[in-house]
Structure 1
């Protein structure tokens, strides 16, 4: 299953279909905006094997120049993305796709702190089974406690994420 209806928050077990979906989408993006891209990364929980996740593929696009994000808007809209601007989340161009939402693009300047944090957190959980299991348990508990409030769910994960990020000086 892929897609999270607006206003809902739930988790489903990890599936290798998410990685396949990312690869397809990455190729489509590279064909449209490749000249602006340094790299395309699969981020978020769908990028971490054996971790339950909201069924949305999170994609980090690393740009040569942050201003190139404006040039990517029309080509990505041709792929079904909606541009949400640079004020929704810090230091990034943000795009969503689908109704229900199936994909999100976080477009960063190469070397951006938030990009580096995303990659470090993903890689840490990929390599550390104990931390991955703790995060899984926390997410399951927060889903119940948040009663579908996606903002509360996201905020309540913050302390865990910060504790992992503090293990490496980014």
Structure 2
């Protein structure tokens, strides 16, 4: 990535290659820790067909409980991932790559199957997959916010929080 682009919020139209990139990263994770984990889920905007997104894949590595977390953390560190803590989100442990790989940019999280972070990621993704009108509205909002907050990722994330929270409220009222 061009150094000048590092601080720029960039939202682009959906790219079907994101699914392929996710599958490549998933294969690496399964190869590393498949016997310890329940699954690897493609979450976030790149997981929703037709949704404009920042070209960064969000991945949840799902574990049965925090009991298995130390072993998963050790395995991931063996292939170049560093644990960053939960970064303020309950039920989600973030990891960053310590070396360059051949994949497009991605965020990797390890989550217990009943953790709040994971459950919200999955329910939000699945709601969008089932509601094309929400995909359209969210994509338009993200494009507008990316222009408005072009050099401020924090403001961009905060500005779209209301939309996300409203969808999560709808989901909770349906259950």
TM-score by structure 1 length? 0.87
Matches for 1:41-60 after TM superposition, within 5 Å: 41-60=41-60
Per the TM alignment, residue 23 of structure 1 is displaced from its structure 2 partner at its CA by 0.9
Query: Does the 8 A contact of 2:8 with 2:150 survive in 1?
Result: no
Count of equivalent residues: 167
Per the TM alignment, residue 99 of structure 1 is displaced from its structure 2 partner at its CA by 6.2
**Does structure 1 residue 25 correspond to structure 2 residue 25?**
yes
Point out where structure 2 has 5 or more consecutive residues left out of the alignment.
none
Per the TM alignment, residue 156 of structure 1 is displaced from its structure 2 partner at its CA by 0.6
**Does structure 1 residue 168 correspond to structure 2 residue 163?**
no
Equivalent residue of 2:109, what SS? Answer: strand
Point out where structure 1 has 5 or more consecutive residues left out of the alignment.
none
Change (3 A) 1:40 1:30: same
RMSD: 2.2
Equivalent residue of 2:14, what SS? Answer: coil
Per the TM alignment, residue 167 of structure 1 is displaced from its structure 2 partner at its CA by 1.2
Q: Return the alpha-carbon distance in structure 1 between the equivalents of residues 122 and 70 of structure 2.
A: 23
TM-score by structure 2 length? 0.85
Runs of 4+ in 1 over 6 A off after TM superposition: 98-101
**Does structure 1 residue 40 correspond to structure 2 residue 40?**
yes
Per the TM alignment, residue 45 of structure 1 is displaced from its structure 2 partner at its CA by 0.6
